[in-house]
A and B are shown apart, each in its own frame.
Chain A
């Protein structure tokens, strides 16, 4: 997604012919990286043949007998296919919309805070959750939603203060898309606001000065200057998110939901489904078929996204 801009012509000096020794040295520098890509990126692509095989460990990846499209049929015939595909796209759309909106609002508001140290401090605070690992998030969420002994938790205690009934959150699948969305806002709100703030600083101050002369309020400026000028950046971030739409957020979701089957109807995404069928059932063929299906559809999403991004990128001041 990043090579679009690198088309500036090379300088003459760099065009100069290199000696074969220099070429060899440079090839050696690139070698570890190339070897890594071959093994860890291109190797697994070749291994996708497993999706068309009835795999067993003894015969190995290439020795196992072929079984055509049986693996795919098995997955799509099971009722799970629709659920996990829907959950993946739906949850990703929720996460993307919520974190971008939160980031945009936070950036606009941080921009209004003029006290330097306080603003820097708050920026550090809201950025920090980005570095907290999913497992730790899961532990925090348990404290809030169910308490340690399974009795209460902070949220239920707050509910009882205002005389609302207690909820056993971990057996309530309907609430989880929203709970996970709030987790995502917590995790990514600050991170996204950093990107928007960077875009805000690149907006020319003269525009604001002109607006101030015309007597515009700060709110007016935010709404009529900052937001429209941030739209291209917003569009690029949307497009990038759409490109990842078919890949579930395995780490966060699995860390939080674990193997709690009650919540699967609303939280099971392709990635967690694939992980479970590999670990619990050990069905390599079907799991690889789902993976291939995900990669192919994901590829379409990403390619469309990259093409769209190139259009928006020309207009975006920062991305």
Chain B
């Protein structure tokens, strides 16, 4: 019921602004097209190309035979076409290991992050006297001041002993104070009547949170999931610090290794560790396979990101 109301509340202004935009389109269509509009089309299109061309060069390079890559260093069209790099990657062990590591970190990390973020945000959002206010400050201070790299490094290696564990790449990123506050502001928009109705029916706090609040919060949970998942997938700094066993490298770290050892055939992620391996083509193919999952999820996920940014901006 309230979910529908909320949908309505957000849909109404959008619809009305859409109508006025349409009016504008009609008005400007009657006039001759303005120079500014034309310039806008051209500039935005050029900027779009500027964003896409580097990505395309990687994709194209991954499909180009090593002989051509060695001549030009890049390729705008996959010619001569070759799938050798992908064949090598898919028959080798290292890509599989990388995917297992990246998926573990992303999935376990995202689940932990969402649970902790939502639950601490709910306690803050409840405005409990003597609890919520101190908790807000407690979560806010880390946004202003931090201990820096050395104490953090010593904490993970000397105190928690997480060297070479995937949890060294999960735990440090588990909570983002900014996302906690975005979630708090979402929770505070929740209609009070529903919660009251549940209380009158005798539901406890735990039940209210799990059976009423969370099901009504799917939009914000999706936003959290996506922001955290991308962070975990792209993370490599903690990997650089704490993971030294190549068998445990996530994809980003394998790529990092490829940058720093360009000519070292032994570090190549393929079954063929010999000199004849298509070094550059392999690098591109590996890059494509690393960005691939994000690229695939992007069309479905993008609106949530826009929503998250706008929510963070408006309510933050």
Contact = CB atoms under 8 A, between A and B. Distances in A.
B314 A205 contact: no
Contacts of A291: 147-151
Given A32-B115, A217-B34, A26 B290 contact: no
Nearest to B226: A131
B52 interface: yes
Interface in A252-304: 254-255, 258-259, 271, 274-275, 278-279, 284, 287-288, 290-292, 294-295, 298-299, 302-303
Interface in B135-164: 135-136, 138-155, 158-160
B316 A2 contact: yes
A161 B141 CA distance: 55
A48 B230 contact: no
Contact of B174 (A26, A36, A42): A36
B44 A143 contact: no
Chain A interface extent, by class:
35 or more
A125 to B, nearest CB: 4
Given A29-B119, A147-B73, A44 B259 contact: no
A194 B50 contact: no
Given A1-B143, A198-B310, A201-B17, A11 B151 contact: no
A57 B150 CA distance: 12
B228 interface: no
A300 to B, nearest CB: 10
A319 B44 contact: no
B150 A287 contact: yes
Nearest to A299: B145
Interface stretch (B23-31, B78-86, B216-224, B268-276): B23-31
A18 B205 contact: yes
A270 to B, nearest CB: 10
Interface string A189-220: 11100110011010001001100100001110
A290 to B, nearest CB: 8
A41 B152 CA distance: 9
Contact of B280 (A25, A133, A149): A149
A48 B147 CA distance: 6
Interface stretch (B3-11, B53-61, B89-97): B53-61
A122 B40 CA distance: 12
Contacts of A42: 142
Counting contact residues on chain B (CB < 8 A from A), the size range is 35 or more
B315 A5 contact: yes
Chain A contact residues: over half helix, strand or loop, or mixed?
helix
A133 B287 CA distance: 10
Interface string A107-142: 011101110000000101111110111111011111
A134 B17 CA distance: 37
A109 B43 contact: yes
B34 to A, nearest CB: 5
Nearest to B286: A139
Interface of A: 1-3, 5-6, 10-11, 13-15, 18, 21-23, 25-27, 29-30, 32-34, 36-37, 39-48, 50-51, 57, 60-61, 105-106, 108-110, 112-114, 122, 124-129, 131-136, 138-144, 146-154, 157, 186, 189-191, 194-195, 198-199, 201, 205, 208-209, 212, 217-219, 222, 250-251, 254-255, 258-259, 271, 274-275, 278-279, 284, 287-288, 290-292, 294-295, 298-299, 302-303, 306, 318-319
Leading 3 A-B pairs by shortest Cβ distance: A147-B73, A291-B148, A47-B151
Given A33-B175, A124-B302, 18 more contacts: A5-B315, A29-B205, A29-B206, A30-B120, A42-B142, A108-B40, A124-B298, A125-B52, A133-B234, A133-B290, A149-B70, A153-B74, A217-B36, A218-B37, A275-B149, A278-B153, A287-B149, A319-B313
28 contacts: A6-B136, A22-B204, A23-B128, A29-B122, A29-B209, A30-B119, A40-B155, A40-B175, A45-B147, A47-B154, A47-B155, A126-B47, A127-B305, A127-B306, A128-B55, A131-B234, A132-B55, A132-B294, A135-B236, A143-B58, A148-B74, A149-B73, A152-B73, A154-B74, A189-B47, A194-B309, A279-B241, A291-B147
